[in-house]
Amino acid sequence: MTRFIDLTLNGISTGTVYAAVALALVLIWRSTRIVNFAQGGMLMFTTFIASAVINSGASYWVGFVVALLSGLVLGALVERLLIRRVAGAPPLNAVIVTLGLLILLEAVAGMIWGNTPRSFPPAFSIRGYDVGGTRVLFAPNDTFIVLVVIGVAALLGALFRGTALGLRMRASAFAPEVARLLGVRVGRMLTVGWALAALVGSLAGVLVAPSVFVGPNQFDPILVFGFTAAVLGGLDSPYGAAVGGVILGLALSYVSGYEGASLVTLAALVILLAVLMVRPGGLFSTTRERRV
C-alpha cells in the first residue's frame, strides 16, 4: 500500500511535467494546427544552456531564468524563420520540418556538449518528506514542480482570458482573416504564441532534467509523453492537456513501478493508440471529430 501511495505521488509530480510539455504542444496546435515535434529538441537545448550556465558557477536560479528566456527566444525564432514558410502547405511538410529541426537541434547539442548524458541539479532537496516516520516518494522539489507548473498555467490562463494581448492571440488562432481585418497583427500574435509555448516547454525541460539527465536524446521519451498527454486530453484543450498529463503521469508511474521502467514508452504508445481508437478527439474534446 505504501508502494502504491509512493507511485501515486511520483506520478503526480512527473505528470505535471508531462502536462507542461502537453500544454506547449496544445498552445501551438491551437494557433497554427501544427504538432511541434521539435518541442523535445527545443526543451533539450534550453536545458543544456541552463546546465552550461549552472556549471560555469552561476546559481541554479540564474540557469532557470536563462532557460526560460532562451526558450522564449528560440520559440519566436523558429516561428519566424521556419514555421511561417510552411504555413498553408500540406500538413506533412510541417511535420517533416519540425522533425528536421528536432534532429538538427539534437545534433548541434551533441556537437557542443557531447553525447554523454550529464546530471542536472534539482531546485530543492529530493529527499522525501517524513510522514509518520516513513519517508514518502515526494520531496520538496516535487512540491516546487507541481506549484510552478500550476502557477505558469494559471498565468497563461489569465493572459489569454484577461488581457487584450490574450484576446488578440485567441482571435488570431480561431479566425485569422477576421482578426486581420480588425487590425490584429496575426503574424506577430503567432510569433508570441510560439514563444510562450516554447517557454512552457523549456520550463518542463528544466524541471524534468534532474531525473532524466541532460543529453541530446534524453528528452525523446518526454516528447512522446507530452504528445500522448496532449492527445489524451484533446489537442485543442489546455485544461485537457493538464488533466491528460497528470493521468498519464499516474499511469506510467504504476507501469514503471510494477512492470519495469523500460516498458514505460511502450505503455504510452498503448495508451495513445487506445485513446485515438476510442475517442480520437481526446477525453475532453468539445468539438465532435470529423467522420469520413
Partner 1 sequence: MSAIAARARVGRARIGELTLARGLLLALVAAAALFVASELLSSFADLELAEGLYFFCVLAGLTVLTGLSGQISLGHGALMAVGAYGAALLIGEQHWALVPALAAATAITAVVGLLLGAAATRLRGPYLAGATLAFAVGLPALADKYSSTFGGENGLVVNPPNPPSGLGSSLPLERWEAWIAGAGAVIVLFTLHNLVRSGYGRAMRAVRDDEIAASLCGLRVARVQTLAFVVSAACAGLAGGLLTVVLQLASPGAFQLSLSLSLLTAIVLGGLGSLVGAAWGAAVLVLLPSWTRDIANSFSLSTKVSSNMPLAIYGLVLVVAMLAWPSGIQGGVRAGGARLRALVRSRRGG
Instruction: Note the residues at the interface with partner 1 (CB under 8 A).
Output: 34-35, 37, 82, 85-86, 89, 91-93, 95-97, 99-108, 110-112, 114-115, 216-217, 220-221, 223-224, 227-228, 231, 260, 262-266, 268-269, 272-273, 276-277, 280, 292
Smallest gap from residue 134 Cβ to partner 1 (A): 30
Smallest gap from residue 27 Cβ to partner 1 (A): 15
Smallest gap from residue 34 Cβ to partner 1 (A): 7
E strand spans, the chain: 130-131, 134-135
Q: Max Cα separation, the chain? A: 64
**Residue closer to partner 1, measured from CB, 38 or 146:** 38
**Residue closer to partner 1, measured from CB, 11 or 41:** 41
Smallest gap from residue 33 Cβ to partner 1 (A): 9
For 27-93, the DSSP string reads: HHHHHHS---TTHHHHHHHHHHHHHHHHHTT--HHHHHHHHHHHHHHHHHHHIIIIIHHHTTS-HHH
Instruction: Measure the CA–CA gap between 149 and 98, rounded to whole angstroms.
Output: 25
**Residue closer to partner 1, measured from CB, 48 or 64:** 48
134: β partners: 131
Smallest gap from residue 105 Cβ to partner 1 (A): 7
**Residue closer to partner 1, measured from CB, 45 or 138:** 45
**Amino acid letter, 80:** R
Question: Which of the 8 DSSP states describes residue 287?
Answer: S
Smallest gap from residue 239 Cβ to partner 1 (A): 20
Q: Which residue has the cell 493521468?
A: 247
**Residue closer to partner 1, measured from CB, 56 or 262:** 262
Give 95-98's long-range contacts (Cβ < 8 A, gap of 24+).
95/34, 95/35, 95/37, 98/34, 98/35, 98/36, 98/37, 98/38
**Residue closer to partner 1, measured from CB, 139 or 190:** 190
Cell readout for 196 is: 510562450
